[in-house]
């Protein structure tokens, strides 16, 4: 059996060592050095990490990242679930509806950015015109709050369909007998939802929250193309900050430390979320 | 036993779908306009309908190449991922071995790895082994997030298939490969479809890694788009048209896997 396990796992382990393990170890090694391209690396221990954690720009982008993640989860999860409940269970409309829901998910992420840039730009977009007709001022490249909410709305637009699809599939998997039993007991709609639907959807919801959380932390292309972190640094999320350090920064040691802190934060957050969510409703 | 949906829910759904489509419509609309019209005024329907933006893409060798190369590395990635993930997921679903949990968790953590963190080392690694600027480099790099996801989804599907089936087959004298090909794979084909769908999607839409690992020889479509964004004058019509074109393969894929998708979602973990 041992040999079989090894043989079957080997391709995956080889692939992951190329695409994950070796790069991770390299970043770890870089992060412990002062490293400018062309000069000899100097070992400095954890100093890069200490500097990163003192860097106000890094901390502020971390804060923005958490806020962003929280906001989109609070909007997308309830909204996705509600829409899934509203969708018809069967019928001829299901095919087209699923395809429609799938479309935003399959648009390349930078094209999502382009769509919204074309849509929201002050000179060529539809949004500013609509807002000004309604009597509001809207300028995505000048007002930080407008840029921020445009990015949040863009993410909601982009990813709520995923949550809906997941919940919809989860709902389809609940046997009808449960609902019949509930009707026999003349349970109220709210009680049926609370005691049958929600518990049965628990794992699907965990998946949805985790996926959205991970990807919200990785989000790069869309906000980068929409505002490039601006105006100022008002929408500079963690990935934009990090890749700016990696691409534009000179000290690769420092940018590696930033990358690793970033990775660790994502890991911890997902781990905590997973643990908490599995515990909920276990009794 | 069908319940009629209330008109309120139908209206809510319709509003949602309209909001979903408006930005996409705006891009399609823009893609059929001339640049002067795009910049001068806001119109919901092109005043001077033009397909110039599309024809200039179709005759451009650069765009054609990007499009094909992107398809190539996406398909290559899906193939590599499936070949590696199916046996691995089978192992995880069937046997508990030492370090089973840890290994599984480590694989999953890579799904969360921010691409930005891996840019420099990947660039160095692929340059050293001489794969930089090839389709294979991007396909391999995308395994970083696709392989863990694939193993995760597939393991969920496979766990749902009773172990008794394996045992019966072995007692009946099936060899491992024959059992796998003839019995097991057909049982999880929905799972494979869902997995392939997700891998296709995540590889097709990725920009950061594919941009870093390519230069002249290979040009992912997402990169071509961004490059034309940066190049001096903003040719919005062209960009919109290219955006519309990149949406098409995705829509086709969704159409084909839509039935598997829901069943698959329901059976597996995702």
- At B30-75, the pLDDT tens digits run 888 887 777 776 778 888 888 888 888 888 888 888 888 888 999 9
Confidence of residue A78 (pLDDT cuts 50, 70, 90): very high
Check pLDDT > 80 for residue B256: no
Contact A172 B266 (CB under 8 A): yes
pLDDT value, residue A70: 93
pLDDT of residue B3: 53
Task: Report pLDDT for B83.
Answer: 93
DSSP structure string for B179-221? HIIIIIHHHTHHHHHHHHHHHHHHHHH--HHHHHT-SSS---H
Question: Which site among B114, B220, B222 would you substitute to test the A interface, given the most A Cβ atoms closer than 10 Å to its Cβ?
Answer: B114
A102 vs A148: which has the higher pLDDT: A148
A178 in B contact zone (CB under 8 Å): no
Residue A242 has pLDDT above 90, yes or no: no
Please, are residues A45 and A31 in contact by the beta-carbon 8 Å criterion? no
Chain A CB contacts of B5 under 8 Å are: 86, 88
| pLDDT tens-digit readout, B210-245 | 888 887 777 787 777 766 654 445 677 888 888 888
Contact B125 A12 (CB under 8 A): no
Q: Domain boundaries in chain A?
A: 54-279
More confident residue, A278 or B81: B81
Choose the closest CB to A100 out of B20, B113, B221.
B20
**Residue B259 confidence (pLDDT):** 67
Distance from CA of A106 to the nearest CA of B (A): 5
CATH fourth-level superfamily of B61-267: MetI-like (1.10.3720.10)
DSSP lists the bridge partners of residue A251 as: A36
The whole-number pLDDT of residue A139 equals 81
Whether cis (ω within 30° of 0) applies to the bond prior to A263 is: no
Q: Pick B88's closest partner by Cβ from A8, A30, A119.
A: A8
Instruction: Report d(CA A250, CA A263) in Å as an integer.
Output: 21
Query: Is residue A73 predicted with pLDDT exceeding 90?
Result: yes
On the CB side of A91, how many CA atoms lie within 13 Å of its CA? 10
B106-165 pLDDT, tens digit per residue, is 888 887 777 777 887 888 888 888 888 888 999 999 998 899 989 988 887 888 788 888
Q: Helix, strand, coil % (nearest 5) of chain B?
A: 75, 0, 25
Of residues A105 and B40, which shows the higher confidence score? A105
**pLDDT score of B233:** 56
pLDDT at B84 (0 to 100): 94
Determine the Cα–Cα distance for residues A233 and A111; give it in Å rounded to an integer: 22
pLDDT at B8: 84
What is residue B95's DSSP assignment?
A: -
A116 Cβ contact partners less than 8 Å away, ≥ 6 residues apart: A150, A154, A157, A222, A226, B23
Domain residue ranges of chain B, discontinuous segments joined by +:
61-267
Distances in whole angstroms, Cα of residue A213 to Cα of each of A164, A210, A279: 16, 5, 18
Contacts of B163 (CB under 8 A, 6+ apart): B94
- To the question of domain A54-279 being in CATH 3.40.50.300, the answer is no
């Amino acid at each position: 059996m041992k040999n079989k396990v090894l043989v079957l796992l080997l391709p995956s382990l080889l692939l992951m060592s190329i695409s994950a393990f070796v790069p991770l170890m390299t970043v770890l090694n870089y992060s412990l050095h002062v490293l400018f391209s062309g000069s000899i690396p100097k070992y400095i221990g954890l100093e890069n990490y200490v500097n990163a954690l003192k860097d106000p720009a890094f901390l502020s982008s971390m804060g923005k990242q958490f806020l962003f993640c929280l906001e989109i989860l609070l909007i997308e999860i309830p909204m996705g679930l509600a829409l899934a409940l509203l969708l018809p269970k069967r019928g001829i409309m299901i095919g087209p509806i699923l395809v429609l829901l799938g479309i935003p998910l399959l648009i390349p992420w930078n094209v999502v950015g382009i769509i919204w840039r074309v849509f929201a730009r002050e000179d060529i977009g539809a949004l500013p015109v609509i807002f000004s007709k309604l009597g509001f001022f809207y300028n995505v490249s000048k007002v930080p709050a407008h840029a921020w909410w445009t990015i949040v709305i863009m993410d909601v637009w982009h990813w709520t369909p995923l949550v809906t699809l997941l919940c919809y599939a989860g709902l389809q998997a609940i046997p009808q007998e449960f609902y019949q039993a509930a009707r026999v007991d003349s349970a109220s709609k709210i009680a049926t939802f609370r005691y049958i639907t929600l518990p049965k959807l628990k794992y699907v919801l965990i998946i949805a929250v985790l996926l959205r959380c991970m990807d919200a932390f990785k989000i790069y292309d869309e906000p980068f193309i929409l505002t490039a972190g601006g105006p100022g640094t008002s929408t500079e999320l963690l990935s934009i900050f990090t890749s700016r350090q990696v691409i534009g920064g000179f000290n690769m040691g420092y940018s590696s430390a930033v990358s690793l802190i970033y990775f660790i934060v994502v890991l911890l957050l997902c781990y905590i979320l997973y643990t908490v969510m599995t515990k909920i409703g276990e009794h | 036993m069908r319940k009629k949906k209330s008109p309120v829910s139908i209206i809510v759904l319709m509003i949602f779908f309209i909001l979903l489509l408006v930005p996409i419509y705006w891009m399609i609309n823009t893609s059929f306009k001339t640049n002067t019209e795009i910049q001068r005024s806001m119109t919901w329907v092109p005043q001077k309908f033009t397909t110039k933006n599309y024809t200039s893409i179709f005759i451009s060798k650069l765009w054609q190449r990007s499009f094909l190369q992107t398809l190539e590395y996406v398909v290559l990635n899906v193939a590599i991922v499936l070949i590696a993930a199916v046996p691995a997921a089978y192992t995880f679903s069937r046997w508990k071995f030492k370090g089973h949990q840890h290994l599984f968790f480590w694989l999953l953590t890579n799904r969360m790895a921010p691409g930005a963190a891996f840019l420099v080392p990947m660039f160095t690694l692929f340059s050293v082994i001489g794969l930089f600027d090839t389709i294979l480099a991007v396909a391999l790099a995308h395994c970083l997030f696709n392989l863990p996801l694939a193993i995760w989804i597939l393991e969920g599907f496979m766990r749902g298939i009773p172990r008794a089936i394996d045992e019966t087959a072995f007692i009946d004298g099936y060899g491992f490969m024959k059992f796998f090909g003839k019995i097991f794979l057909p049982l999880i084909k929905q799972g494979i479809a869902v997995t392939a769908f997700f891998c296709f999607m995540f590889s097709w839409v990725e920009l950061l890694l594919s941009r870093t690992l390519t230069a002249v020889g290979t040009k992912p479509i997402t990169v071509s788009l961004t490059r034309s964004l940066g190049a001096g004058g903003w040719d919005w019509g062209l960009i919109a048209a290219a955006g519309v074109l990149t949406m098409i393969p995705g829509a086709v894929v969704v159409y084909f896997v839509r039935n598997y998708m829901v069943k698959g979602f329901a059976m597996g973990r995702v």
